Chains A and B, each alone.
Chain A
Amino acid sequence: MDGDEVNIRMENLLKVFKEDTREIVALKGFSLDVVDGELVCLLGPSGCGKTTVLRIAAGLETKSGGHVSVSGEEVSGAGPNRGVVFQEFALFPWRTVRKNIEFGLEIKKMSADEREAISSKYIDLVNLEGFENVHPQKLSGGMKQRVGIARALANDPAVLLMDEPFGALDAQTRNLMQKELLRIWSATKKTVLFVTHSVDEAVFLADRIVVMTARPGMVKKIISVALPRPRERTSADFITIRSEVLQVLEAEFKKTMMREMSDGGVEHKA
């Protein structure tokens, strides 16, 4: 079993945004290793830079310092070995479900037969049979994200980067999609980095939960969730871990709030 190989390695990441004349340090000294086949949740207060971490790993955002490598290759720019699932779904509205899933395969210049075989496989995997020729606007939020997941997986990436993928869904659909993700994850054995602001979601999904500090974002604490799956949200163990994570987070939420209040004060003076 190659389960202990590091797949995503992030070392000492630095990210500085320039806003007019001000420099905002979004990330500073952020380091994290994600092991092959692992499901890691990035959790933190809003504005802590968790999405920035994911976008840097995806190659959609440049870094100001540090290193990121995926499967041993240094990340420079976006590439098909890292599949990304977006909160906004980001489906191509002029393409059918099947054509959305085949987008990356077209770029790889696969033949129509090969493409169809692969897209059919992933349509089955995410349970979208019968919707192959439907356009995204006719789908519900949950179904849209199924397409998003299938589209990312069709490229057979080394890792799956998910940016609050269920954030736009209602609570019921969200719970269902979490279960679906675990099913798909165990079927594909992909390494998953999953950004969320929901403690509940993180405890339900993750092998490990990485709690980030308020800005500048770095790793505050890593909490392993050793509960067997499927997890029961109402079980005593679940609740124990959930409150442990909440405690770590709460201190950071307070810092964010304090900062926002002081920022507000500065604005009043200006």
Chain B
Amino acid sequence: MKSIVRLARGVMSRNWRRVLLGGLSIAVFIGAWQAYSWYLNANDYGYAAYIPYPGEVAEAFLDSFVTTDATGLLMMDHIFASLKRIFLGFTLAFVIALPAGLLMGSYQTSEGLGMPIVEIFRPIPPLAWIPIFLVVLGHLWGPVAIVFFGIFFPILFNVMLGVKRVDPILIDAAKTLGAGRQHIFFKVVLPFTTPYLMTGIKVGLGIGWMCIVAAEMVGQYGGGVGYYIWAMNEFSLYDYVFAGIAVIAILGILTTGVAGQIERRLYIWMGMK
């Protein structure tokens, strides 16, 4: 009992420390921002530079969720528009990249067939597709395709790498325990590759968010957080621009958090932790 109390106290004090340091870090950031805004807005530099104060941004942030903007949309509409594109792009990329990576990692023939195409498309930044895809695929599937390209390669390459790193001795061990090809695939190759897949997904989602915001900025139609930021910029509503940026930051953190949770659940389910 005593040890449990001591353990609990240890965890508490560690958490308190983290909360305290985290709070301090954010407070310093907001303080610096406030000071910089004061400084900049107090001096006339002869151009329309205006840095909104943290308070103004917070107000704009809250307002964007309850008041419709010039296009008649609420922030939640923009968020859902962006999430929908990310979700579709991610799902497509995942569904194609996972089997492709498994095949290309397992068989030299598949790798020989797949790599030339991969090598042609990989060096092209996903954002370079924006003009073509928006015209050809429209304002939903265009950005989806751009997100797809952002997420596809990290998943593909990580899965390939994972499959290639499978220790041959583990496959030998499985064989001597009676495993056939299917068993080896599902009980050795797939679990071994899962952490690599999760790395690919996390890297891919990060790139996906960058792609979606840029595609929506250029897209100019159909809503989305990127669109929102661009539109607010056109109206010189800088506090709302910052609110949009804050929304992206929060969504990015949430996405990473959800991916981390899924990863943890997955490992628990697979008996890895």
The answer to whether B178 touches A155, judged by C-beta atoms less than 8 angstroms apart, is yes
Number of interface residues of B (CB under 8 A): 23
**A107/B172 contact (C-beta < 8 A), A80-B178, A151-B177 known:** no
From residue 167 to 215 of chain B, which have CB atoms closer than 8 A to chain A? Answer: 167, 169-170, 172-180, 183, 187-188, 191-192, 194
- In the bound complex, residues from chain B placing their C-beta under 8 Å from that of A155 are 177-178
Number of interface residues of A (CB under 8 A): 28
Query: In chain B, what residue has the closest Cβ to A151?
Result: B177
Contact of A78 among B169, B175, B192, B272 (CB under 8 A): B175
B271 at the interface (CB under 8 A from A): yes
A258 at the interface (CB under 8 A from B): no
In the complex, per-residue mask of B146-178: 1 if CB is within 8 Å of any chain A CB, else 0: 000000000000000000000101101111111
B270 at the interface (CB under 8 A from A): yes
Query: Smallest Cβ distance from A175 to chain B, in angstroms?
Result: 25
Question: DSSP class of B's interface residues: helix, strand, loop or mixed?
Answer: helix
- In the bound complex, residues from chain B placing their C-beta under 8 Å from that of A59 are 175-176
A21-29, A91-99, A183-191, A220-228: which lies at the B interface?
A91-99
Once bound together, how far apart are the Cα atoms of A140 and B270, in whole Å?
23
The answer to whether B271 touches A90, judged by C-beta atoms less than 8 angstroms apart, is no
In the complex, per-residue mask of A78-111: 1 if CB is within 8 Å of any chain B CB, else 0: 1110111010101110111001000110111000
- In the bound complex, residues from chain B placing their C-beta under 8 Å from that of A242 are none
- In the bound complex, residues from chain B placing their C-beta under 8 Å from that of A88 are 169
The answer to whether A94 touches B272, judged by C-beta atoms less than 8 angstroms apart, is yes
A168 at the interface (CB under 8 A from B): no
Query: In chain A, what residue has the closest Cβ to B175?
Result: A78
In the complex, per-residue mask of A127-138: 1 if CB is within 8 Å of any chain B CB, else 0: 000000001000
Query: Smallest Cβ distance from B260 to chain A, in angstroms?
Result: 18
A251 at the interface (CB under 8 A from B): no
The answer to whether B173 touches A90, judged by C-beta atoms less than 8 angstroms apart, is yes
Query: In chain A, what residue has the closest Cβ to B194?
Result: A94
The answer to whether B192 touches A94, judged by C-beta atoms less than 8 angstroms apart, is yes
Contact of A86 among B172, B194, B267 (CB under 8 A): B172
Chain B residues proximal to chain A, CB less than 8 Å: 167, 169-170, 172-180, 183, 187-188, 191-192, 194, 267, 270-273
With contacts A60-B172, A78-B176, A90-B169 known, what are 4 further pairs, Cβ within 8 A? A80-B177, A90-B172, A94-B272, A103-B174
Q: Can you list 15 A-B contacts with CB-CB less than 8 angstroms, sorted by A residue number?
A: A60-B172, A77-B175, A78-B175, A79-B176, A79-B178, A83-B176, A90-B167, A91-B173, A94-B191, A94-B267, A95-B271, A103-B177, A104-B177, A104-B178, A107-B179
